[in-house]
Amino acid sequence: MKKIIEQLAEQLKTAFAECGYEEKYGMVSVSNRPDLCQYQCNGAMAAAKQYGLAPIEIAREVVANCWDNPMFSKCEAVMPGFINITLSNRFLSGTLAAMAGEEKLGVTCDVPKKIVIDYGGPNVAKPLHVGHLRSAIIGESVKRMKRYLGDEVTGDIHLGDWGLQMGLIIEELRDRQPGLVYFKEGYTGEYPKEAPFTLSELEEIYPAASAKSKEDEEFKERAHQAVLRIQNSEPAYSALWQHIMAVSLPDLKKNYDNLNVHFDVWKGESDVKPYIADMVDDLVARGIAHESQGALVVEVAEEKDTKELPPCIVRKSDGAAIYATSDLATILDREKLYHPDHYIYLADKRQELHFTQVFRTARKAGYVEPDTRMDYIGFGTMNGKDGKPFKTRQGGVMRLEYLLKEVEDAVYAKIQENRTMDETQARATAKVVGLAAVKYGDLSNQASKDYIFDVERFASFEGNTGPYILYTMVRIKSILAKYKEQGGSEPDTGALAGGTEREYSAAETDLMLSASRFADMVEKAAEELAPHRVCQYIYELSNAFNSFYHENRILVEEDSGKQVQWIALIALVLRILGVCTDLLGFEVPDRM
């Protein structure tokens, strides 16, 4: 379906051409003076330079050519040469009816692209903390947006599963239980199927080992060696590594399920081990990598760089594979499996250098096609009210589940103020709304920006918050239910096109206009990988709805034609909000 803006531009382009000007001047944009008009065309200003005329002269001429177009209720030239456009009721309501008739509400799906999105990226056996929250929340939303546009998206969690934490855990275990069979010299038998630790033991072992490594150099060195031995698949180390994975993964899955974040692929850095030796040989053989201080590196600096770019290390001097090694090998794996048109990575914005190095190496080595798009969404930090990275009251790293619980409790308290629900219902609702509060609080900021985690603000039912959006949706649901109870029929999308002879109030027009802009917004948001645009939009749409709601008494409206149209309109608004909240990755309760 053609967007309103495209249809307007078509008309204006024809008018410019018919008046003897280049049609490119007929571009139209949403008005930046909504008090004066809904759309505007600024082309006469640019054309004036080319044709040596006054802008207003050109604008008047173009308007004289097209003012009577049935799409407009008003089309006028104003000083110094703007063309201001207001849509006719017939055109606006007809557009909404057409939109409601489409499954994807007017979104145009281009040729589907193959996309791999690498997000979540937790480090196995370390507690999930708020730093991983952003990756999961933003990545999930970007994935859903791309899918909505019809792309073929694979979401991969890309576990950090053979980092130093694994070595630390194993060596700490050795110190605590040296008698375990894994640590017996010369042992060649089978290893037990049961892990020698439980999840809660594991959760305690890692921080202890990490603290010890900061004081004990020998211990730290042993841990590094252990990582190398895992990478070299030494049986005892592999067996322990398997145990750590087996104990940690179910818990990770549970945590992500609670966040309503779902991965298609659960691979990790260790899965690409089979590629590494050949990849490194290939890079050396083709002269792409060379030795530098014992390590193997790829030069990635380019002439256009304004900052110095250090080379990408693909193998450390002790032979260990590192972060960039596994990211490059992962590209080989993904090329083999999916041959994506587009890669999207999510990580803390401090990892920008790493991704620049990896992308450039992949291109230089020809591992991806020259036109493969590679994006890295570097996100900012979630800070506490003190403006410093978010910590617990004790100053430790806040675990995700505690953070969610805190927001949930705040929402629960608000729900209890209204006292319309029983305990179980209130708790269940608080869970859904609390998650929305956290996600919206995050996604409504541009990803690269830091933001302040503020429970009170996020959980508020008023203002630019997740609960406010949900509250608006619940309100619409309740009107629709009451309408049905009083004998009204199902919302009729055809009715959206009605009522063209009457005046629409400003609030009604605003709501219709806002609804009509959904497809345009979602296409842009997906292209720019920007969920905050979706938030911005649903906040505007919710405000438009609430103004309309406060102005009109929908359920007791006596003009039944009007009422049927309104019901269809708010049902469409609810549908749009439903799609958008789903794109953001949260759910909607029936009551609040």
- Interacting residues with ligand ARG (CB under 6 A): 118, 121, 123, 158, 160, 327, 345, 347
Are the C-beta atoms of 108 and 150 separated by less than 8 Å?
no
Considering only CA atoms, which of 46, 81, 39, 43 is closest in space to residue 60?
A: 81
Residue 509 CA to residue 515 CA, distance in Å, equals 10
Q: How far is the CB of 544 from ligand ARG (least distance, A)?
A: 39
Residue 46 CA to residue 83 CA, distance in Å, equals 13
Q: Which is nearer to ligand ARG, 208 or 322 (CB)?
A: 322
Question: What is the bridge-based pairing of β-strands 289-292 and 295-298?
Answer: antiparallel
Residue 305: C-alpha distances to residues 355, 357, 360 (Å): 15, 12, 12
Q: How far is the CB of 161 from ligand ARG (least distance, A)?
A: 9
Q: How far is the CB of 341 from ligand ARG (least distance, A)?
A: 18
Q: Which is nearer to ligand ARG, 22 or 335 (CB)?
A: 335
Cross-strand partners of 154: 116
Q: How far is the CB of 243 from ligand ARG (least distance, A)?
A: 20
Residue 481: C-alpha distances to residues 217, 490, 550 (Å): 67, 10, 18
Q: What's the one-letter identity of residue 183? A: F
Q: Which is nearer to ligand ARG, 11 or 325 (CB)?
A: 325
Q: How far is the CB of 251 from ligand ARG (least distance, A)?
A: 17
Are the C-beta atoms of 203 and 127 separated by less than 8 Å?
yes
Q: Which is nearer to ligand ARG, 61 or 161 (CB)?
A: 161
Are the C-beta atoms of 382 and 444 separated by less than 8 Å?
no
Q: Which is nearer to ligand ARG, 128 or 576 (CB)?
A: 128
Tokens standing for residue 204: 């305690």
Considering only CA atoms, which of 230, 331, 341, 339 is closest in space to residue 282?
A: 331
Q: Which is nearer to ligand ARG, 118 or 341 (CB)?
A: 118
Q: How far is the CB of 437 from ligand ARG (least distance, A)?
A: 25
Q: How far is the CB of 138 from ligand ARG (least distance, A)?
A: 12
Q: How far is the CB of 206 from ligand ARG (least distance, A)?
A: 14
Q: How far is the CB of 348 from ligand ARG (least distance, A)?
A: 6
Q: How far is the CB of 254 from ligand ARG (least distance, A)?
A: 19
Q: Which is nearer to ligand ARG, 31 or 351 (CB)?
A: 351
For helices 130-148 and 518-527, angle between their N-to-C axes, nearest 10 degrees:
120
DSSP 558: S
Tokens standing for residue 156: 């991969």
Considering only CA atoms, which of 370, 338, 355, 369 is closest in space to residue 153?
A: 338
Q: Which is nearer to ligand ARG, 123 or 429 (CB)?
A: 123
Expressed in angstroms, the distance from the first to the final Cα of the chain is 36
* Helix (H) or strand (E) segment spanning residue 117: strand 114-118
Per DSSP (E only), the strands in 316-443 are 342-348, 373-379, 382-383
**Number of residue whose CB is nearest ligand ARG:** 121
Which three-class secondary structure state does DSSP give residue 374?
strand
Residue 55 CA to residue 381 CA, distance in Å, equals 48
Q: Which is nearer to ligand ARG, 244 or 554 (CB)?
A: 244
Which three-class secondary structure state does DSSP give residue 297?
strand
Q: Which is nearer to ligand ARG, 118 or 442 (CB)?
A: 118
